[in-house]
């Protein structure tokens, strides 16, 4: 399969990704049972429900660079300014290779 070329970084996507990654890591570290249920040494792909620009960019990055043999974990989250709260917890998916 041909690799798609990643479009130029839309304004602010990298900064939003960094902020959201930090929030997600804090969420996981506060809930070791969730973190322990994830595969060891995984690639994280954040798919914000409310930021289609970031979601598309992150999927393009995955398509272009792949996972380099590591398991992939998809995190569906809301990227609101309040961060990730217990009420708006992320949905984490680790696809199983058949």
Entry pTM: 0.78
Distances (CA, A) of 90 to 46, 69, 83, 97, 98: 10, 24, 11, 22, 25
Asked which of 34-38, 58-62, 80-84 is least confident by mean pLDDT, the reply is 80-84
Q: Which class is domain 13-93?
A: alpha beta
Q: Is 13 helix (H, G, I), strand (E, B) or coil?
A: helix
DSSP 17-82: HHHHHHHHHHHHHT-HHHHHHSPSS-EEEEEETT-HHHHHHHHHHHHHH--TTS-EEEEEE---TT
| pLDDT tens per residue across span 59-80 | 999 998 887 788 999 999 987 6
């Amino acid at each position: 399969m041909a690799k798609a070329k990643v479009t130029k970084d839309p304004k602010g996507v990298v900064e939003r990704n960094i902020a959201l990654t930090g929030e997600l890591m804090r969420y996981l570290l506060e809930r070791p049972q969730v973190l322990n249920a994830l595969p060891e040494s995984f690639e994280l792909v954040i798919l914000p429900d409310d930021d289609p620009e970031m979601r598309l960019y992150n999927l393009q990055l995955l398509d272009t660079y792949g996972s380099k043999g590591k398991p992939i974990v998809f995190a569906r989250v809301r990227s609101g300014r309040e961060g990730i709260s217990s009420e708006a917890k992320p949905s984490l998916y680790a696809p199983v290779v058949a």
